[in-house]
Structure 1
Amino acid sequence: MVKSVADFMSTYRCMVMAILLLMCSSTAYAASLAPSLKQQSSLWGGGDGAEVLHAIQKVIVREDKHWEEVQYYSIQVNDLDAARDYGRIVIPYNHYYNNIELEFANVLSDKGVIKAVASDAIQRRDKSGQDFYSEDSELAFSLPDISPGSIIEFQFRIQSEKLTMPDLFYNRSDNYWFQPTAGGDGFRADPVREASYELNLPKQMQIHIKEFGPGKTDYDVANKANRQVHMWSWDRLPAISIEGNMPDFDTLRKRIRVSTSKQWMDVDSWSWNLVRDKFQSTSAVSKLAKKIARPGDSRDKKIRAVYAYLQQNIRYVYAHLGRGGYEPHIADEIIQKQYGDCKDQTILAVSLLRELGIDAYPALIATRRVGQPDMDMVHLSFDHMIVHIPQADDGHNTRWMDTTSDRGLFPGIYNSLLDQPVFVLNGHGGKLTTIQQDDLYENLARLEIDFTTNKNGSLNVVMNTFLSGEYEQYLRDWWLRDHNRKTNLNRMVSGLFTLEKGDVKVDAEVLHHNDLWKPIAIKAEFNLKSENGKKEIFPSVAISQVYRMFNARGVLPLPASRENDWLDKQPHTLQIKANFHDKKRRFPVVVHSGGFVDNDYYVVTQRGEKREKEYSIFMEFKQKALSLSPKGYKKYYYAIENLHKNSGSWLIAYDENEKNNSLAELKAKSEGEGGEESKLKLARHYIKQGQFEEALRIATAVVELDKENGQAWYILGVAQGYNAMISESTKSFTQATTLGYTP
C-alpha cells in the first residue's frame, strides 16, 4: 500500500513537472491571433517581393496604466531577395521598462511543411558598446527553410515592467513590419493585406486618439463589462518605399496614436522632480565655477567657459545603467567621476551656468533618430537632453547648447535638429517648442583659391576653405572617425583640378579639427605641370567644383526610382572666391566666363573684377529649401546634373600687352562728347570681364540718354540678366527687338 502510494505520488510529480516544462519551455502552444498557416496559404497572391498577410496588434491596459501587448505577423515570401531579407527577424524593445516573450515563430514551406524556430536560433542582445550603455535590446531569431513560396509567422508578447512616467499610458499602432535588408543597407516595408489594432481599456479611463496618414480606416468601439474596446482595421495597405529625404512616416502610413494625457505640464512636473535636486549649488560646483570663469566676465565668455570645461574634462558616455532614461546623477558626482551621459552633462552645465549667474534649464529633445513625433498628445519620444539658456533681460538671444559631441564646434547644436521638438523643463509647466533656423549656423562652404602662373608655365594653386553648418559638422565628424583620413582627404581634394595630359601634385591638411571656436578647415596646395613641362596651363574654375567637392550630403538618387516627395528643409550656399596672379606680370584676359542661373531650385551668380595685372572672380550657388513631388525631384535632379553646363566656367589667360580698346582708352572715349558708342563698348568689356554691376550702371545711363537705341536696350538686357534682374532683362530684350536691333 505504501509502495503504491509512493508510486502514485512519483508518477503525479512527473506529470506535473512535464506539464510545467511544456508550459515554460515551448512557445508552440500559445493561442494565435490569426488563422492557421494552412488557411492563410489560400491567400497566396504571387508577384514579386513579399506581402504581409496579417498584422494584428492587441493591447490591454490596467487601471494602474501598466499594459500588455501581443503582436502577430504573417508574411508571404515571393522571391529570392525577400527570402534573404526575412531570414532573420529582429524585434526591438527596452529591457529596463519592458519584458518580451516570443510566443511562436513558424515557416510554412513551399512544399506545405510547417517548421518551428529552433530554441538555439533565438537570441536576446543589447546594444551596449564602448562608451555606449543602452537599455535598448533586441530579440532576434532565424527561421529555417525560407524560400520563394513560403509563409512565415511570428507572435510576441511585450509587458510593462516599469512605467516610463507614472500614471501615463501611450501607444501606437504598427501596421507595417519594417525589415532590415540582408545587405544591411536599408529597410523594406512590404504591402499589408489585412491589419488591425485593438485597444482594451478600463471603462472610466480617459483616452485621446489621433489618426495619421492617408486612406480609409474602419473603426468601432464597444463596451464590454467594465472595459472599453477600440478596434481599427485596414485592408490593402500599399508598400512604403524607404528613401532618403522622405517625409515623416506618419504622413505616409495609416497609424493610430493614443495617450491618456494632453497636458505637457504633467511631464514637466514629473521630470522636474527628477532633476531639480541634481543641479543645486554645492561647494564643489561653486569652486569649479570660480576656477573656470571670473565674476566680471561677459555672459558669452562664461557660457563658453562652461562649454569648454565639459568638452575638455567630462567624457561623454551614453549610459542608462539600469537607472531609467530620464534621471541623471548629481552635479558633484559628475565632477568627481569626470564622465556622464547627456543628462549628466546637461545637469553639470546648468549647475555651473546658474552658479555664474546665468539662467539655464535642461531640455528634452527628440532627435532625427526618432523622426518628428507629433506633440499634440503626451508621449515620451525624447531621446536626448541639451541645455536651454533663455533670452536675457539685457537682450541676449535664446541659446541652445549641447556638450556631448567630441570636440564639437561651440555651441554643439547640429543642424540636423532643425524643426525637432524640444521640451524645456522649468518646474512651471515647461515649454514645448522646436529648434529654429535662426538657432543654427548657416549651411555654407566657401573655397578661397589663389592661382599663380609660374614663368615656366606651371600652375601653383593654394586652396583654403571656410565651412559652416552641415558642411562643418560633417567634415569634423568624418575626420574624427575615419582611420584612413589622410589618404581619403587627398582623394577628396585631388578631384578639384585635373589634367588630361600632365601631372598634378596635391598636399592637403585639415586645420582646427580640435578647436572648439574655429570651424574645421582644409588647406591644400596643388602643382600642375603639362606633360612635357613646357606648355602653359591656363587656370580655370567653375562653381560645379565646390558642389562636387562638398557634396557630403550624398549622391542624388536616380529619379526613375523615386516614389516619395523629396524634402530638404535647409537652404545651402556654396561659394568660390578665386584670385589669379602671373609671375611674368602679364595682363589677365578672360577667355570665357560663367553665367547666371535662376531656376526653381537654386540661383547661381558670378562676377569678375580686374585689378591692374590681377583678376578676381566671385561665384555663388544658393539652393533654396525644397519640398518636391517625385516629378519635381526629377527636374531638380537634372538641374543639378546640368549645373556645370548651365553655369559654365571661367578660363583666364595672359597677354603681354593690353589691346587697343583697353579699359583706359575705352573710359577716355566714353567720357567725351557723343561717346554713347564707346560707353556701350565699355559696358560690353565689363560684361566680358564679369563686372556685371558696372556694366549695368553704364548701359542704364546710355538708355536714359537715348531710349531709341536698340543696341543699348540689348546690352542693358544682358547686364540685367547677369545681375539677376530677370523680368527687367526680358523687357529690355523685347524693347531692343521692337526697335529693330538684332545682335
Structure 2
Amino acid sequence: MYFKQLLLFVTLFSFQFIYSQDFDVSILSIPDSLKQNANSVIRNSSTKIVLESSKKMTVTRSKTITVLNKLGNHNSEIVIHYDSSNDIKNVRAYVYNALGVEIKDIKKRDFIDRSAVDGISLFNDGRLIYYDYVPTTYPYTISYEYELESSNTAFIPRWFPYASYNQGVVKSSYEITYPNDIKIQKAEKNFEHFNIIKSEKPTTIRYEINNSPVIKYEELCPSSLEVMPWLIVASNKFRLENVDGSANNWQEFGKWMYDNLIVSRTALPESTKNKIKQMVTGIDDPVEKAKIIYNYVQEKTRYISVQVGIGGWMPMLATDVDKLGYGDCKALTNYTKSLLDEAGVTSYYAPVYAGGDKKSMEQDVVSVQGNHAFLYVKGNNKDIWLECTSQTVPFGYQGTFTDDRDVLLITPEGGKIKHTGIYKTEDNFQKTNANYSINNDGNIEAGVTINSGGIQYNNHYGLEKQPKRDIEKYYKSNYWSYINNMTVKKYDFSNNKDSVIFNENIELAASKYASFSGDRMLFTINAFNRALEVPKRYRNRKLPFEIARGFIDTDEFKIKLPENYNIEALPNNIKIENKFGSYELNIQKINEKELKYSRIFRLKGGNYNAKEYKAYRDFRKSIAKQDKSKVVLTKAAP
C-alpha cells in the first residue's frame, strides 16, 4: 500500500514537473563555463512576437533563470507592464531548488498590481504586475511565461540576451513575424562580438544565442548597452491608442508626433496670452524673452508625474497646466513652448533619453523613443536646452541629465535629429582657495572658498536648499570625510544663475589635524581637495573603459605654520602629463612660517581600450599619492 502511494506521488510529481518545465533546471546541468564569475544564469529565454497588422500584436514570453547568489536576486524579479490597450494572459511562474525540484507554483493572483509610474501620479492608466521571490537558500531557479495582446504596435519589445553583467546565457531567442504590407526596421547592436544565429525570411526574422559566457563587470566599463548585444525593431506602420501612424524616416515620424501629440495641446487662455505679452514688451532679444518666460514657469509650476492621453506620450493641455500649476515633463515642456510661442520665440519639443549615462536616439530605427521631454530654443550663437521640470536649474543648464546625446526635435515640418550641448573639460571647473593655519597642538583653522561651474556646478548647487544639519553633515562626512574632529563654524553660498557658477564660503576648524612623532609634526598639505580614488586593479582587464566627462580642478592654499616649529621637509614639486590629462603640484616657501600650495588637476573625458587601463590606474595612483604628501616640521629649540 505504501509503495503504491509513493509511486502515485512520484508519478504526479513528474507530471507536474514536465508540465511546468520541459528541460532539466537543476544546477548540475549548467556548464561550468557559464557559472564562472556569474551571479545568475539565463537557462532559456524566448520572445515571440506576432505582428498581425499595424493594429494588433501578440507577444509570448518565457524565461528560466538560475540565481546563484544574492547578487543575482534582481535578475529574478518578474515585471509585466500593461494598460487598457495591453491585456495580459496565461501568466504562470515556478520556483525550483538547486536539484530542479519545484518548490513554489506562482499564479497570477500572487502577483502585486500597481501603478507603473514611480512617485506622485495624477492620471495614470499605465500599470504593471510584479513578483519578487524571497529566497531562503541558493541557488534557486525561477521560470515564468505569459502572453500579452496589444492594440499598440508603436512599442515592439526589444531583445536583450543578457539582462546584466555577471550573467551567463545558456539560450536566448527572439522571433518576430509580420505581414507583407509592413516594413520592419531593425538595429543590431554589438552583435559582432557574439555568436548570434540569425535567420531571415520574407515575413519572419529570428535570432538565437547559445552558451554565451559571463561578461564580468569591471570598474569604469561602459554602459551595458555599449558592450552587450541587443536588438531594437520597429514597424513603419503602427498604432498608438487608436491613433494610426506611418513613418519611414524621422521627418515623417516627427510630423506625425507634431500633428497628433503636440499641436492640439498648445492653446492658452486669453488672460495668460496678455500677461506674457506684457512681460516681454520692449524686449527684442529672443534669448532674453526666453529667460523671462523660463523664470515665470519655474515660479508658477511644479513637477508631478502624469500619464494620460496617447500611451502617456500626449502632454496635458497647456490650459490645464496654466490653471493647475503642475504637470509632468511633457506637460511642462509643452506649456513652456506655448508661452514662448506667444512671446514670439521659436522653440521645439524634444524627446530625449535623460540620465547620467549618455544614451542617444537610435537613428537607424524610426520609432517612439526616449524617457523624458525638454525644450530646444535657438540662441543667438548657440543652442539652448531648457529643463522645464525643475524649479532650481538655471536657464539653459543641462548638467549630466541631457548633455552630449542625440535627441529628436519635433517641428511643424517634421522630426530632426540634433545633438545636445557638450561640456568641454575647461567648462567643468572647480576652483578652491583657502587660507589655513596650524597651531602648536596640530589643530587647523581655515577659511575656504569653492567656485564650481559646468558639470561640477551640478555637484554643489543643491547645497543652498539644504537645512543646516545636512550641510554640516555633507562637509564633515562626505566632502572632507578625511578630516577628523571637524567643526563647521560658518558657511554661506551664492548661486549665480546667469553665469552658472556656485560659490561656497566655509569657515572650519579641526583638532589634531597634524600628527606627531617625537619632536616632529606632520600634516597633509592638501587639506581641501584630495583625489584619493584609485581604480580597482585587474590582472587581465577585458572591457574597455570610459571617462564620461572631463574636468579641471585648480587649488591654491596659503598656509601659516605653527610658531614653535620649523620646516624640515616639503613635498617635491611635480608635473605629470599624459593622454588622460595632467597633474601639476607646486609648493612655494614664502618665508619660514608661510607656504603657498598650488595644484592643477585636469582629467580628460574619453573612451579607452582595456590595454590602456593600467596606465590610467597608475596615473590616478600617482595623483592619490601626491595628494597625501606631507609637510614635516621639527620643534624649534627653546
If the TM-score is normalised by the length of the shorter chain, which range does it land in?
0.7 to 0.9
Percent identity over paired residues? 15
Letter of the structure 1 residue corresponding to residue 272 of structure 2: V
Q: Deviations over 1:451-476 (max 9, x none)?
A: 35789997532001111233221333
Deviates most, 256-265 or 566-575: 256-265
The 1:497/1:378 distance shift into structure 2, 3 A limit, reads same
- In structure 2, what is the Cα distance between the partners aligned to 1:628 and 1:241? 18
Per-residue CA deviations over 1:424-443 (Å, capped at 9, x if unaligned) read 11121221022231599922
* 1:125 maps onto 2:114 in alignment: yes
Aligned to 1:375: 363
Q: Deviation of residue 234 (structure 1)?
A: 1.6
Flag the 1:453–1:445 CA change in 2: closer, same or farther, 3 A.
same
Q: Which amino acid aligns with 2:41?
A: E
User: Residue type of the partner of 1:430?
Assistant: G
Distance in 2 separating the partners of 1:244 and 1:536: 40
Q: What does the per-residue CA deviation read over 1:259-296, in whole Å, with 9 as the maximum and x for residues that have no partner?
A: 23440112211111121243356523322324544423
SS at match of 2:322: helix
User: How many aligned residue pairs are there?
Assistant: 595
Structure 2 CA distance for partners of 1:83 and 1:365, relative to 1, 3 Å: closer
Map 1:552-563 to 2 at 5 A.
Answer: 556-557=535-536, 559=538, 563=542
2:575 is matched with 596
Partner letter of residue 478 of structure 2? M
Q: CA deviation at 1:198?
A: 1.2
Matched, 1:201 2:184: no
Q: Confirm or deny: 8 A CA contact 2:158 2:230 kept in the other structure.
A: yes
The residue number in structure 1 matching 2:491 is 509
CA contact (8 A) 1:609 1:617 kept: yes
Aligned residue type for 1:343: K
Distance 2:306 2:80 in 1: 18
Match of 1:334, SS state, is helix
The Cα of 1:73 is off from its aligned counterpart by 1.1
Contact 2:353 2:371 in 1 (8 A): yes
- 3-state SS in 2 of match to 1:464: strand
Q: Distance in 2 between matches of 1:259 and 1:147?
A: 41
Which residue identity does 1:640 align to in structure 2? R
| 1:575 equivalent in alignment to 2:554 | yes
Determine the C-alpha separation between the residues in 1 that align with 2:529 and 2:130: 45
1:55 to 42, 45, 51: 45
The equivalent of 2:222 in structure 1 is 247
1:238 equivalenced with 2:213 (yes/no): yes
1:460 to 2:450 alignment: no
1:85: how far off? 5.5
Q: What residue in structure 2 maps to residue 268 of structure 1? A: 254
Q: Over residues 209-253 of structure 1, what are the superposed CA-to-partner deviations in whole Å (9 max), with x where a residue is unaligned?
A: 332222222222346xxxx22222221122234566432434422
Amino acid at match of 1:100: I
Question: What residue number does 1:344 align with?
Answer: 331
Instruction: Sort the Cα spacing of 1:477 and 1:118 in 2 relative to 1 into closer, same or farther, 3 A.
Output: farther
- Partner residue, 1:546: 529
1:319-346 CA-partner distances (Å, limit 9, x unpaired): 1146532211333322221111112221
Give the TM-score normalised by the residue count of structure 1. 0.69
* Aligned-residue offset at 1:505: 4.0
| SS class of match (1:509) | strand
Gaps spanning 5+ residues in structure 1: where? Answer: 1-27, 179-186, 657-743
Partner of residue 160 from structure 2, selected from 170, 174, 180: 174
Q: Which moved more, 1:463-472 or 1:103-112?
A: 103-112
Equivalence for 2:8 = none
Tell me the distance in 2 between the aligned counterparts of 1:530 and 1:43: 60
Query: What residue number does 2:475 align with?
Result: 489
CA spacing shift, 1:143–1:333, aligned 2, 3 Å = closer
Q: For 1:205-604, what aligned pairs fall within 5 Å after superposition?
A: 205-213=182-190, 214-222=193-201, 228-242=203-217, 245-261=220-236, 262-273=248-259, 274-280=261-267, 283-296=270-283, 298-321=285-308, 324-368=311-355, 371-392=359-380, 396-438=381-423, 442-451=427-436, 460-477=445-462, 484-495=470-481, 505-509=487-491, 511-512=493-494, 519-527=501-509, 541-542=525-526, 545-548=528-531, 556-557=535-536, 559=538, 563-580=542-559, 591-604=570-583
More strand by share: 2
Looking at structure 1, the residues matched to 628 and 139 of structure 2 have their Cα atoms a distance apart, in angstroms, of 55
The structure-2 alpha-carbon separation of the partners of 1:362 and 1:456, relative to structure 1 and needing over 3 Å to count, comes to same
The change in CA–CA distance for 1:546 and 1:111 in structure 2 (over 3 A counts) is closer
SS in 1 for 2:619: helix
Q: CA deviation at 1:160?
A: 1.9
SS at match of 1:268: helix
* Distance in 2, Cα, partners of 1:536 & 1:291: 71
Q: Would the aligned equivalents of 1:284 and 1:332 in 2 still touch at CA under 8 Å?
A: no
Per-residue CA deviations over 1:126-184 (Å, capped at 9, x if unaligned) read 244543456664322255877556543211222224354xxxx64422323x3xxxxxx
User: Structure 2: how far apart are the matches of 1:470 and 1:337?
Assistant: 33
> Do residues 93 (structure 1) and 68 (structure 2) align?
no
- Greater share of helix: 1
CA-atom RMSD, angstroms? Answer: 4.3
The answer to whether the aligner puts 1:158 opposite 2:142 as a matched pair is no
* Cα deviation code 1:356-392 (max 9, x no counterpart): 3322221111123784452211122211111111244
Q: Read off the aligned partner of 1:354 and give its amino acid letter.
A: D
Aligned partner letter, 1:67: M
| Partner residue, 1:673 | none
Once residues 552 and 138 of structure 2 are traced to their aligned partners in structure 1, the CA distance between those partners, rounded to angstroms, is 49
Structure 2: gaps spanning 5 or more residues: 1-14, 237-247
Distance in 1 of aligned mates of 2:313 and 2:170? 39
Q: Aligned in 2, Cα 1:336/1:562: closer, same or farther, shift over 3 Å?
A: farther
Task: Compute the displacement of 1:202 (Å).
Answer: 0.7
Confirm or deny: 8 A CA contact 1:588 1:615 kept in the other structure.
Answer: no
Alignment partners' CA distance in 2, 1:253 and 1:75: 18
Q: CA deviation at 1:447?
A: 0.8
For the residues of structure 1 that align with 2:440 and 2:133, how far apart are their CA atoms? Answer: 72
Report the CA distance shift for 1:643/1:195 in structure 2 as closer, same or farther (over 3 A): same
The 1:36/1:414 distance shift into structure 2, 3 A limit, reads: same
Question: TM-score, normalized by length of structure 2?
Answer: 0.79
Amino acid at match of 1:70: T
CA contact (8 A) 1:547 1:574 kept: no
| CA separation of 1:144 and 1:471: change in aligned 2, threshold 3 A | closer
